Amino acid sequence: MGLLKESLKDFFQDKRDWISFGGVFLLFLIFWSYNYSFRFAPLFTQALKDNQIGLSLFYFLFFTAGALVIYPIALAFYGKLNEFKSSIPLILGFVVVLAIVCSARIRDSELFRWAGSSSVEIAMLTVNYMGTILAYVALPLAWIILRKNSQDRLLGLDKSPKFGEVLFLLGLMLPIIAIASFSLSFLSVYPRFAGRMSDGYLIYPPTLWIILFEISYAADFAVLETFFRGFMVFPLASRAGSKPAVLAMAFMYGLLHFTKPQFEALGSFFGGFILGMISYRTKSVYAGILIHIGVALAMELAATLQFLYFME
């Protein structure tokens, strides 16, 4: 509890911090409300799912619009607007990666017939997660290689977490996940590894494929955390301070979830903000990695138990 308390205390030090957080959250609520009122991102994603170029362009414009709104505002709250112009290449890198992550998919199931009929869907998911991992890794890896004399070079990958605090924070999430697992919107998405029949029942693939999928799923969260809580925080924080960097990152992280269940998307803003402040305080991304993987696997398990034992 001490790590969470101290991380939040680092941020909320005066009135300007509360106003900044409230302003950014209000802005996020406007985007969130519009998206789920009109199903903006889900509808475009569905309509363009077979048009790779169109979907990539949509997400590039989507994240560009978000970045052009949030970064100047977050920097202006802390009198660092002059840093925006010099940060544009970095911010553009964020946008390009997020657009690739949301749009680049192998969708031709015929390419996976070698896996067997019961494993085609999970094989596609697993391979696509591997592609996402590569997208998240590319820019942080280039940063680590090229920024040899920079203090923010290792992006929080060189410091270990406080395991007791991580377990405590993860424990706080488990009751929430258990309650959420009774929601139909939750069960329409999780468990990710299972196919769904028209009547709502699940198709379980072979165990080996489930294991391969969960490994790629966990690895995806590890690189996601490194990207968001490391690459999107430390480089900008060294120029403009941790507070605008974390606020802008949390906003963009929330946008990434706009095709997920609506309250998961809302919660992602707070989760991104908290993990961002923990990352900056500890100078380590490992707390976020362990918490995120733990939550993701707990959601998979909770949904699986619902389908196996609690649903008629």
Q: What is the DSSP string of 35-77?
A: HHHHTHHHHHHHHTTT-HHHHHHHHHHHHHHHHHHHHHHHHHH
Chunked in runs of 10, what are the mean pLDDT values of the chain (312 residues)? Answer: 84 96 98 96 94 96 98 98 96 98 89 84 92 96 89 87 81 88 83 76 86 94 96 95 97 96 90 94 92 90 85 61
pTM of the model: 0.91
CB of 262 closer than 8 Å to CB of 31: no
State the amino acid at position 125 in one-letter form: L
pLDDT at 155: 92
Quick one: pLDDT at residue 198? 65
Task: Give the separation between CA 122 and CA 124, rounded to whole angstroms.
Answer: 5
Contacts of 255 (CB under 8 A, 6+ apart): 31, 62, 63, 66, 98
State how far the alpha carbon of 266 is from the alpha carbons of 251, 261, 263, in Å. Answer: 10, 9, 5
Decide: 143 and 235 in contact? Cβ < 8 Å: yes
**SS3 call for 220:** helix
